[in-house]
Amino acid sequence: MIFSGASMEYRKLKDEDKDGSTVEDDIENLNGRPLLAPPNTTGSSYNDHPKWKTKSIVTLLLTLLTSSQSILIVWSKGAGKYEYSVITANFSVEALKCILSLLALARIWRKDGVTEDNKLSTSLNEVILYPIPAALYLVKNLLQYYIFAYVNAPSYQILKNLNIISTGVLYRIILKRKLSKIQWAAFILLCAGCTTAQLDSSSDRVLQTPIQGWMMAIVMALLSGLAGVYTEAIMKKRPSRNINVQNFWLYVFGMVFNAMAIFVQDFDAVMNKGFFYGYTWITMLMILNHALSGIAVSMVMKFADNIVKVYATSVAMLLTALVSMCFFEFHFSLAFFLGSTVVSLSVYLHSIGKEQSRAK
């Protein structure tokens, strides 16, 4: 009975999705970040006719946050290693996102009052669904610190787009979501673009990134995709539930798992040196950046559209490369430029293909 009811809800949501009246199933939206409820689609809406000033500000904000993520992680290193505990930093990110979700809920409570769908109290059957994606995000988020032992910031910006492929394939396998031919073509172009951007003509190696970096990038993409698809399944099981409540519980379990990781790996260091040992202002900016990135994506989905994310992703790759040239001795090559261009094109095609697939 429960499975039948969940299936009916999913089919109902899928039908609504064809009319464009449901939450966007974008990659970033499925990664447990705080989202804002979509506006009504009757008449004109922000999604259909965003004001150019708001759209420009949102695009600029998302571009700056996206491009600075990898730069801040690399910059936070001291003498080639992290002086702080990356697990405590990840815990701080989860805690900050949890606070932001509570602030969003407080605003809703003041405006609409506490209802069955936006109250924090929940049942055991609902709350036990969140530990799995929280654990997946824990491993994925920690890997993003260690991958920089093998890749530079621009290469990371390129390779992290592989999560588009993993999410799309997992959609097809788990949620039986059909993919358009344009999406499959975008996946092939994405792989070609990532490979082209890593070509190294200045050494005997064919690719700049060693096999360890590629393996970590692929594992991160798989974890991100699996956690995203699982999170969507949870959210669509009870579509009327306020998204900030769902994210709050996801972040709570994220804090719990990070606390367990601290106890296992960094307990002695934290007890002897303190929770914030090794932190600098760059570390704090990095934590703030990771938390605000989810809010920026929420603003994109409310006030702009998917094309804004394509622009932000494309510009962020080039901006990261330019900053890395100035501060991290990155050499901007023709192969990297061509590869990033192909990746940008693939992201654009994927966005178009997703809209066509949804319209069918």
From the number of C-beta atoms within 10 Å of its C-beta (0-12, 13-18, 19+), residue 251 rates as buried
Q: Which residue has the higher pLDDT, 93 or 19?
A: 93
Tokens 């991100």, residue?
Answer: 224
Cβ proximity of 141 and 90 under 8 Å: yes
Q: Predicted confidence band at 9 (pLDDT cuts at 50, 70, 90)?
A: very low
pLDDT of residue 102: 93
Q: Predicted confidence band at 96 (pLDDT cuts at 50, 70, 90)?
A: very high
What's the average model confidence in pLDDT over 41-60? Answer: 56
Q: pTM (2 decimals)?
A: 0.73
pLDDT of residue 277: 92
Tokens of 153: 């910031």
SS3 29: helix
Supply the DSSP symbol for 210: -
Q: Predicted confidence band at 95 (pLDDT cuts at 50, 70, 90)?
A: very high
Angle subtended at Cα 138 by Cα 295 and Cα 293, rounded to the nearest 5 degrees:
15
For residue 180, the Cα-to-chain-centroid distance in whole angstroms is 23
* Gap between the Cα atoms of 123 and 249, Å rounded: 12
- Minimum mean pLDDT among 74-78, 158-162, 201-205, 340-344: which range? 201-205
pLDDT of residue 357: 61
Calculate the average pLDDT of the chain: 76
pLDDT of residue 348: 78
pLDDT at 42 over 50: no
- Minimum mean pLDDT among 83-92, 254-263, 309-318: which range? 309-318
pLDDT of residue 15: 45
Supply the DSSP symbol for 176: -
Number of residues written out for the chain: 360
Q: What number of CA atoms fall less than 13 Å from residue 51's CA on the CB side? A: 4
* Gap between the Cα atoms of 189 and 137, Å rounded: 27
